[in-house]
Chain A
């Protein structure tokens, strides 16, 4: 069996060469100095399954973390999701968050953008800038990142159906400002399957939607090699009411579905798989959440290695962003949410997440204020710098409960993944309404448990207050719609209309003939085609999707 000192000498040392330990005291408040890692050896027990099931950080099967030295060297990325109103307003919030010590950006887009409509489209009325920032063309994107160094900051963008177009706009900004695409880091969410399962911000039917995603798998590694062109997302599945086990199973099943689609296109697994990233929710059940992250890494590693034959260890390593559970936050006694978020964030860190967003306490009421967003960020900083949970890697490993629960969640998730595979895969299961039915069941069951007080929610069904506490909330300026419409009119007036027509024609041809769309999206973005124009071209070629109204 592999010994800890071998791991220290090899993997850990190698990791430190790339990234030395952080210059903080890795010592407890009593001045005890924990080692980077503890294994059964340290307490003199035998665990014959240790190597195969748990192993070492930075090594297959990655149960204990994807990097050799984890938080000893580098903390998770503190990446707060932000966006509202106009590009100017969101740009100002980004700069405030960076000033407050945030280490990555994460863009929330408004619903018209998510659905591929320009801000002046009739269906956009009332929604512009409401739950995210409005981006209708390169002009908005230029303002959104004005004064931000794109080679220094990584940016995550929560965008799915129009992901190729929005990514192209970001890359166009970088190109115009002289940045090297090879040095850009960031993530587009680009996970359309979970949209059909949960969040429902889809435009086209499942098959052409997946085709667009695979275009990024093919084009991304060659052109923007450090970019994560997908973040396979369980977050929305969980928020829509699934259990943690369902979230785990369905998210990984989605991941495997993309892998299979990419293999079918003839792509090399070890070229694209290292840039697949993940996104999980973290709810209140502390140990279940920790076990979920550990099980996710192990399942992905095993399947990628043995079922799909990936050889590059980076193809096996599941890197993940996490977000505390918006659905767990209560409108009643909203300040209690600060405690919920802290507990959930701690679970994500103990689960070994690589990036984290903490929700603001007022999110059951409105978008976060600057103050509530800052408290949420500070919560991460307190966990990172004051609690000592970063002294040693995967500190809960070896807990009888955590290890048992990790195994149990792996077992249950694999059973569900097997069921989906027997149905013929995720797309087939979507078409058969499997996820809609399962979600309706799970969310209704949860609601009933709350109403019968089998589950206690503080401030909601127990320990309630007579007089509700008021907190200040963020209101979105109703002027946004007008400002956006004016900017769009200006863009349409000033751009080179022949270049626009040619770019859209190129996109149309590529979509129709099944070629890779990404180069055409980039050309459209540079020509200041609007998002609505690009998506209309694809709506014409692919048609749109409407799910059955199942209750």
Chain B
């Protein structure tokens, strides 16, 4: 299948105990409206559940929504598990209440993008449309 015809598959996840899911749901819906296939995990997912769902659903990207301040912990865990499962090519991105100071640390972990409050959903759409086909080309060895 040519890269351009493929539909982008994204997992949107709420890790941890926090139930504030407005952002996750708005983003999930915007991605779907932009023609992507979106799987929303629902609330209170552990990193293990998220990574296993991502692999089972064969997604191109995982988006984590975290407002509780526990972002460093969850991103680190998800990234570690992706590597352990040989799935580190799945794009990891996220958003929520994440201080600027932590963004470089997250990038250093391998988080592809961090979207703070006030981000337009179009920015997330653009990011995935730009980055996911790069992943496909890499898979096809182009």
Contact = CB atoms under 8 A, between A and B. Distances in A.
A and B interact physically: yes
Nearest to B72: A126
A348 interface: no
B86 interface: no
Given A123-B46, A451-B122, A457-B118, A549 B41 contact: yes
B69 A364 contact: no
B21 interface: yes
A548 interface: yes
B141 interface: no
A460 B118 contact: yes
Give the residue among B68, B70, B120 with the most A Cβ atoms within 10 A. B70
A329 B118 CA distance: 9
A239 B97 CA distance: 14
Interface stretch (B22-30, B54-62, B104-112, B127-135): B22-30
Contact of B97 (A364, A450, A468): A364
A127 B41 contact: no
Given A126-B74, A451-B122, A551-B40, A111 B68 contact: yes
Interface stretch (A49-57, A185-193, A195-203, A288-296): A195-203
In the complex, which range does the number of interface residues on chain B fall in? 35 or more
Contacts of A329: 117
Nearest to A333: B118
A548 B43 CA distance: 9
B74 A200 contact: no
Contact of B68 (A127, A240, A332, A365): A127
Contact of A240 (B20, B100, B117): B20
Contact of A551 (B25, B46, B67, B72): B25
A201 B21 CA distance: 11
Nearest to A123: B17
A461 interface: yes
B88 to A, nearest CB: 21
B68 A130 contact: yes
Interface residues of A, number: 50
Contacts of A447: 26, 30, 121
B46 to A, nearest CB: 7
A331 B29 contact: no
A436 B48 CA distance: 26
A86 to B, nearest CB: 15
B118 A200 contact: no
B120 A125 contact: no
B32 interface: yes
A436 to B, nearest CB: 9
Contacts of A331: 116-118
B29 A125 contact: no
A200 B20 contact: yes
A367 interface: yes
A491 interface: no
A331 B26 CA distance: 18
B13 to A, nearest CB: 10
Interface in A456-494: 457, 459-461, 468, 470, 473, 475-476
B19 interface: yes
B73 A199 contact: no
A465 to B, nearest CB: 12
A200 B26 contact: no
B70 A127 contact: yes
A200 B21 contact: yes
Contacts of B46: 123
B38 interface: yes
Given A241-B22, A331-B118, A549 B40 contact: yes
Contacts of B117: 329-331, 364
A170 to B, nearest CB: 22
A396 interface: no
B35 interface: no
A201 B19 contact: yes
B122 to A, nearest CB: 6
Contact of B28 (A332, A547, A551): A551
A461 B122 CA distance: 13
B68 A443 contact: no
A549 B42 contact: yes
A327 B116 CA distance: 13
Contacts of B19: 195, 199-202
Interface of B: 12, 16-22, 25-26, 28-30, 32, 38, 40-43, 46, 67-70, 72-74, 97, 99-101, 116-118, 120-122
16 contacts: A111-B68, A112-B17, A115-B17, A117-B17, A123-B17, A127-B16, A127-B68, A127-B69, A239-B20, A331-B118, A461-B120, A473-B99, A473-B101, A549-B41, A551-B28, A551-B32
Given A126-B70, A200-B21, A549-B40, 6 more contacts: A240-B21, A241-B26, A330-B117, A365-B99, A443-B26, A548-B42
Q: Which 10 A-B pairs have the closest CB atoms?
A: A200-B19, A126-B73, A549-B42, A130-B69, A111-B17, A126-B70, A331-B117, A460-B118, A551-B40, A551-B28
